[in-house]
């Protein structure tokens, strides 16, 4: 995934030159922190200035963007403009590829601070001016969101976002390598999972800069993955194994509301890291709990009680065990309640 870097010069203070005067060998050198690398052909120059017309801004923006030459040497990126007529304000933007494992000490750090050093020079002022830039990457390894849907809030749609920074989660434990990553959600009483609704997707990462802090969002990409969820109806727990340890995922599923009065439904999602010994999962697993959770307040009107009797053709009670379900629609899509009985 990528983040965009911006460098802006206002009136070229410190360069000791006259605005709009020709300058030669104009060069900007940016030393990026470890883990960031320049994305080829991503440099764009934007020109501003109150005294410039719209046409002049467009002309200078195009000319400078086409003129800039980029060379890289490790973490040092050099942008060379050659000879240029300096506008009042100029912004150089470019994209950087992020290798998060070269930046973070731990894949579950909540924030990662980055710093880079920039120097601007020209033939008229070879010493130029320097500046240091700082930004922060926000890391939320696990997030869960829930929204009530369908009429009367009889169903809640959940979205779980996993590993948005694409960190290698096999390194969750120091000196131990995790081999499996298990997502587990213990649903609250009053919720019943729609097993067919569980879907897992690889995710596209987008980073947004908010006053120097880069926060990421995930978007489903491609077809849903072949992942088989497990649902323990007795404990009301959903469990599924994620395909890889170093990719971002979006997991979606729905749960039916089975309570008949307004109440607050809380449930937390967790990640479990598992390693194997002698080809078998170790009995003691390592559990990593994050702040990801979803809370929904459901207020359902029209409370009622329903009694079901199971009888045969002779109207005698059937004693065999049975499963009953009550739906709010004739297509059996919106589950209201479900119960297993022993005996008639």
Convert the pLDDT of each residue in 155-204 to its tens digit: 788 888 888 888 887 766 555 677 788 888 888 877 888 999 999 999 99
Convert the pLDDT of each residue in 66-102 to its tens digit: 888 999 998 999 998 877 766 667 788 888 888 888 8
For the chain, the average pLDDT equals 76
Convert the pLDDT of each residue in 219-252 to its tens digit: 999 999 999 999 998 888 999 999 998 899 999 9
- As given in the structure block, the two tokens for residue 100 are 């998060």
Which contiguous run of DSSP H or E holds residue 292?
none
For residues 242 and 174, the answer to whether their CB atoms sit within 8 Å is no
- For the chain, the farthest-separated pair of C-alpha atoms sits apart, in whole angstroms, at 105
- As given in the structure block, the two tokens for residue 129 are 């001016």
Q: Which residues contact 211 (CB under 8 A, 6 or more apart)?
A: none
Secondary structure E strands in 211-248: 213-221, 230-232, 237-241
- As given in the structure block, the two tokens for residue 198 are 């569980």
Q: What angle do CA 227, 148, 197 make, to 5 degrees?
A: 20
Q: Which residues pair with 268 in a beta bridge?
A: 293
Taking residue 216's Cβ as centre, other Cβ atoms within 10 Å add up to: 21
- As given in the structure block, the two tokens for residue 6 are 């911006």
């Amino acid at each position: 995934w990528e983040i965009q870097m911006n460098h802006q010069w206002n009136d070229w203070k410190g360069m000791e030159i006259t605005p709009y005067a020709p300058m030669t060998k104009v060069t900007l050198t940016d030393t990026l922190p470890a883990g960031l690398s320049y994305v080829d052909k991503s440099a764009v120059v934007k020109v501003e200035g109150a005294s410039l017309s719209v046409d002049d801004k467009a002309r200078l923006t195009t000319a400078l963007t086409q003129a800039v030459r980029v060379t890289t040497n490790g973490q040092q990126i050099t942008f060379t403009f050659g000879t240029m007529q300096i506008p009042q304000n100029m912004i150089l933007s470019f994209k950087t590829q992020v290798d998060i494992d070269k930046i973070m000490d731990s894949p579950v750090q909540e924030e990662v601070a980055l710093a880079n050093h920039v120097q601007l020079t020209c033939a008229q002022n070879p010493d130029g001016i320097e500046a240091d830039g700082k930004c922060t990457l926000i890391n939320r390894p696990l997030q869960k969101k829930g929204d009530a849907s369908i009429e009367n809030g009889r169903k809640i749609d959940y979205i779980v976002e996993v590993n948005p920074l694409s960190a290698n989660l096999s390194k969750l434990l120091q000196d131990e390598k995790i081999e499996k990553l298990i997502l587990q959600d213990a649903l609250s009483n009053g919720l019943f999972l729609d097993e067919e609704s569980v879907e897992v997707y690889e995710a596209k990462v987008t980073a947004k800069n908010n006053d120097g802090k880069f926060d990421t969002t995930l978007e489903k990409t491609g077809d849903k993955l072949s992942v088989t969820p497990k649902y323990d109806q007795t404990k009301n727990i959903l469990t599924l194994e994620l395909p890889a340890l170093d990719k971002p995922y979006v997991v979606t599923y729905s749960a039916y509301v089975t309570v008949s009065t307004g109440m607050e439904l809380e449930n937390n999602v967790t990640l479990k890291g598992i390693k194997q010994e002698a080809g078998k999962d170790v009995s003691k697993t390592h559990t990593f709990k994050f702040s990801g959770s979803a809370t929904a307040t459901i207020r359902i009107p029209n409370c009622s009680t329903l009694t079901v009797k199971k009888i045969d053709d002779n109207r005698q009670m059937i004693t065999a065990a049975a499963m009953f379900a009550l739906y709010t629609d004739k297509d059996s899509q919106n589950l209201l309640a479900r119960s297993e009985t022993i005996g008639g």
